Amino acid sequence: MYAVEVENLTKIYGTGETAVRALTDASFRVSPGELVAILGPSGSGKTTLLTSIGLVTEPTHGRVVIDGITVADEGWLPGLDLKRIRRERLGFIFQAHNLIPFLTALENVMVAMEINGVGRKEAKQRGLDLLGELGLAERAGHYPSHLSGGQSQRVAIARALANRPRVILADEPTAALDTENGSNVMALLKRLAVENHSAIMVVTHDHRMVHGFDRILDVSDGRIVGERRNGGTA
Ligand SMILES: Nc1ncnc2c1ncn2[C@@H]1O[C@H](COP(=O)(O)OP(=O)(O)OP(=O)(O)O)[C@@H](O)[C@H]1O
């Protein structure tokens, strides 16, 4: 079973004269354990693609299937609890600085589990385990303002992994990092994709990181115009 299936996905924002066609007929599939980049210029539709898979943006046409569940087919499928599917099956990673500033690293990770109904004790244990795995055991009690960019990004990754999602969606996760930290984050995402058998989709402008991906989807003007494996020639 694929982790993500997208078929003829089209998104038009607004209607009439002000309508903006952000995506046209995008189709692809992502397997569990695959690390996929969505690469393209500003305004090409990358974020729209990611947020459509992330159950945030309602597709105008086409089908989206997440972890075997058809979530959209000519618009959201009626009767689905999208919030629940999002909480249970998806993990989101954004740029480094969206941690909750008044919670410690550990609490930032725990909160993701607690809103999913995980008890405090269990959330704390898993949070500590995850931070340990990401090399942040010593930083668990620190507030985001006392973490480096790379450390904050690893906390954000721990938080995205907390509920063991089948699909992880990341928007420019290395943009705010220097090359070394960016490469470390990429290596980590790759390891996590394989070990956890998660599909990871990353929107990036960052050509420095492109070699780390299994596959690259090139997006231009709302269309997927190319697909390369293992970094290709970029
Ligand atoms: N909520 C919205 N309402 C109207 N138009 C939108 C909306 N969101 C995005 N768009 C338009 O859709 C097109 C694709 O935008 P999108 O944000 O998906 O591109 P992007 O490739 O992620 O860009 P960037 O790299 O600059 O973030 C753009 O023309 C944008 O202006």
Residue 158, domain member (yes or no): yes
Range of the domain at 108: 35-55+81-229
Angle, helix 149-161 to helix 179-196, in steps of 10 degrees: 20
CA of 49 to the centre of ligand 1 (A): 10
Residue 10, domain member (yes or no): no
Residue 65, domain member (yes or no): no
Residue 186, domain member (yes or no): yes
Q: Is 11 in the pocket of ligand 1 (CB under 6 A)?
A: no
Tens digit of each residue's pLDDT (9 = 90 or more) over 200-213: 999 988 887 888 89
Q: What is the pLDDT of residue 210?
A: 84
Tens digit of each residue's pLDDT (9 = 90 or more) over 137-170: 999 999 999 999 889 989 999 999 999 899 999 9
Residue 5, domain member (yes or no): no
Residue 173, domain member (yes or no): yes
Contact assessment for residue 101 and residue 145, using Cβ atoms and an 8 Å cutoff: yes
* Interface pTM, i.e. ipTM: 0.97
Q: Count of domains in the chain? A: 1
Tens digit of each residue's pLDDT (9 = 90 or more) over 102-145: 999 999 999 999 999 999 999 999 999 999 988 899 999 999 99
Here the CATH number for the domain that contains residue 134 is: 3.40.50.300
Residue 183, domain member (yes or no): yes
Q: What is the pLDDT of residue 97?
A: 64
Q: Is 15 in the pocket of ligand 1 (CB under 6 A)?
A: no
Tens digit of each residue's pLDDT (9 = 90 or more) over 65-81: 999 999 999 999 999 99
Q: Is 22 in the pocket of ligand 1 (CB under 6 A)?
A: yes
Contact assessment for residue 67 and residue 166, using Cβ atoms and an 8 Å cutoff: yes
**Cβ burial, residue 190 (10 Å; 0-12/13-18/19+):** middle
